[in-house]
Amino acid sequence: MLVSVHRPTCSSLFLNPLQPSQENGHYRTVNKRRPTSMSLMGSSSKNGNGGQVSDQRLYLGMDFGTSGARFAIIDKHGMIFSEAKREYPKYMREQVDCLPSILLRNEGIRFLASLCTYVESDVEVLRYSDEFRVLVDRDIQGKLTSLFLLFRKSEETIDWIRSWKTTLFSLLEDVPVNLRPLIASISIDGTSATTIILDSNTGEPLWRPFLYNESCPDALPMVKSIAPANHTVCSGTSTLCKLVSWWNIGGANKTSAVLLHQSDWLLWILHGKLGVSDYNNALKVGYDPEVESYPLWLLSQPYSQLLPSVKAPGASIGFLKEDIRTKFGFPKDCVVCTGTTDSIAAFLAARATEPGKAVTSLGSTLAIKLLSTNRIEDARFGVYSHRLDDKWLVGGASNTGGAVLRQIFTDEQLEKLSDHINPMEASPLDYYPLQAVGERFPVADPEMAPRLHPRPQSDVEYLHGILESIARIEAKAYRLLKDLGATQVEEVFTAGGGAKNEKWIRIRERVLGLPVRRAIQTEAAYGAALLALKGAQHN
């Protein structure tokens, strides 16, 4: 475990994102109004108080999360002018190649069904591994009627490159036309360690993206042999493991390859300067934000030639590309700024500014960020520290979270069932809610199996048990950070889709034994907009 106390010198705009307003020289309170979340295609063009837009400058932040993308447009006081969101279109990169399924009956069913772990849509799915799945079907009484063993190629089936690029331009289309000429800067956050390897000559991907929670254990021995013990990169899901795995596969065009993270790649589409990242995204490929450089043990590797250059988050990279600028009607001086990861953008949005304040992002995954004066790194538990100006965001990201809920309940069911939960009553159910085998934090165990059974008759009790079990994981995570030497947590703000669940907040407050509240701004896109504001002000 590495612990250090370091205060890099730099402007701490992050922690005080609102500069004194020019007119009256003092901080204006951020728009307390809940953001007006827009319909899929719609977006407002009024300011936060419904007034007409003046000719002031605005700042566009986009969040490319796990399940969808959003944008927020703010002014220099943090007032929200427009928001919109888009689901990711599911373009299939190639058909999933299901070998002939095997219908099992009687003994076969009873044996495998006893291992059933979770429900996907309306059939129960037992996912042994990436190689095959078992689907079960039940009659109205819940009795198993048939069971299919599906072998599938371990190829990704969604064309994420096409999906993300389409979503980027769809969101630009959603920006109200009358606001576009006022957009002074743009920034984007994305899922951490989502890795894209491009040909620097053509800009085309040389491989499918490695997603944020994808593990490359094949590369771990090599990575552990070059990195310090328990370094952040010593995890199968680290960006460095993904880079080494690609390098070992014998990927073509190695000499012209460049590595980008998801938000770097989306920003590159807008500014056109290949190979630029930020020190939050670059942390998991091995960049050291404390000394602001890659370590020698990494630079001495043959694949270090793929590493992007690194700037602080919210740093101006260049102007919006002319073809995109003219197509959408953005101004000539619109700059594109470096981004960050989705959970850090959520932290920025929450405006937690003092050590001991923390943000738990209840998105598809559970991501925890505690503002600390100490830097803590310990890959044994999936703990790492992101730099935030002169302090550290200590935490990690669990594979539990909203995506598991979404596999079992629709958002409407979550809302209705939660109404019947008594948050002051402890649930006796003890689960470890995961979508599939593997956990990153607070236990770093690629073999950890999901635990979502026994399922009670009552869906209210089942949901209560899952919410409380996720809260216990969150509590374990905060205890771990304290044991590793981070600043003691005093208050937890909540971001992400789960923040809307008041009952869950109350359950978490009881389980954590801490004040827990919803952040005023719960969307990571708002944090990305603050980065765009920072970039414009320092441009």
Ligand X SMILES: O=C(CO)[C@H](O)[C@H](O)COP(=O)(O)O
Query: Using CB under 6 A as the criterion, which residues of the chain lie in contact with ligand ADP when the complex forms?
Result: 65-68, 363-364, 402-403, 405-406, 411, 414-415, 418, 496-498, 500-501, 504
Does 367 help bind ligand X (rule: CB under 6 A)?
yes
Shortest distance in whole angstroms from residue 342 CB to ligand ADP: 6
Shortest distance in whole angstroms from residue 363 CB to ligand ADP: 3
Chain residues 334-353 in contact with ligand X, contact rule CB under 6 A = 341-344
Q: Which of 472, 523, 511, 237 is nearest to 359 (CA)?
A: 523
Of the pair 370, 525, the CB lying nearest ligand ADP is at 525
Burial 309-341 (b: 16+ CB within 10 A, else e): ebbbbbbbbebbbeebbeebebeeebbbbbbbb
Does 504 help bind ligand X (rule: CB under 6 A)?
no
Of the pair 355, 496, the CB lying nearest ligand ADP is at 496
Does 195 help bind ligand X (rule: CB under 6 A)?
no
Phi and psi for 93 in degrees, rounded to 5?
-75, -35
Q: Which does 268 bind (CB under 5 to 8 A by kind): ligand ADP, ligand X, none?
A: none
Shortest distance in whole angstroms from residue 248 CB to ligand X: 23
Does 436 help bind ligand X (rule: CB under 6 A)?
no
Q: Which helix (H) or strand (E) holds 277?
A: strand 276-278
Residues linked to residue 351 through DSSP beta bridges, in sequence order: none
Of the pair 343, 487, the CB lying nearest ligand ADP is at 343
Q: Which does 176 bind (CB under 5 to 8 A by kind): ligand X, ligand ADP, none?
A: none
Terminal-to-terminal C-alpha distance of the chain: 38
**Would you say 234 and 227 are in contact if contact means Cβ atoms under 8 Å apart?**
yes
C-alpha pair distances (Å), 333 with each of 150, 185, 271, 415: 54, 8, 12, 44
Of the pair 325, 351, the CB lying nearest ligand X is at 351
Does 43 help bind ligand X (rule: CB under 6 A)?
no
Of the pair 286, 527, the CB lying nearest ligand ADP is at 527
Interstrand relation of 491-495 and 516-518 (parallel, antiparallel or unpaired) = parallel
Tell me the per-residue interface mask from 55 to 74 with ligand X, x by CB under 6 A, - otherwise.
Answer: -----------x--------
Q: Which helix (H) or strand (E) holds 148?
A: strand 144-151
Burial 82-96 (b: 16+ CB within 10 A, else e): bbbbbebeeeeeeee
Residues linked to residue 82 through DSSP beta bridges, in sequence order: 73
Total residues contacting ligand X by CB under 6 A comes to 13
Does 212 help bind ligand X (rule: CB under 6 A)?
yes
**Would you say 2 and 377 are in contact if contact means Cβ atoms under 8 Å apart?**
yes
Does 363 help bind ligand X (rule: CB under 6 A)?
yes
Does 365 help bind ligand X (rule: CB under 6 A)?
yes
Q: Which does 397 bind (CB under 5 to 8 A by kind): ligand X, ligand ADP, none?
A: ligand X
Which tokens sit at 11? 């402007």
Which tokens sit at 228? 């310090």
Does 192 help bind ligand X (rule: CB under 6 A)?
yes
Q: Which does 500 bind (CB under 5 to 8 A by kind): ligand X, ligand ADP, none?
A: ligand ADP
Does 397 help bind ligand X (rule: CB under 6 A)?
yes
- Tell me the torsion sign for CA atoms 172, 177, 180, 181: positive
Binding residues (CB under 6 A) for ligand X: these are 66, 191-192, 212, 341-344, 363-365, 367, 397
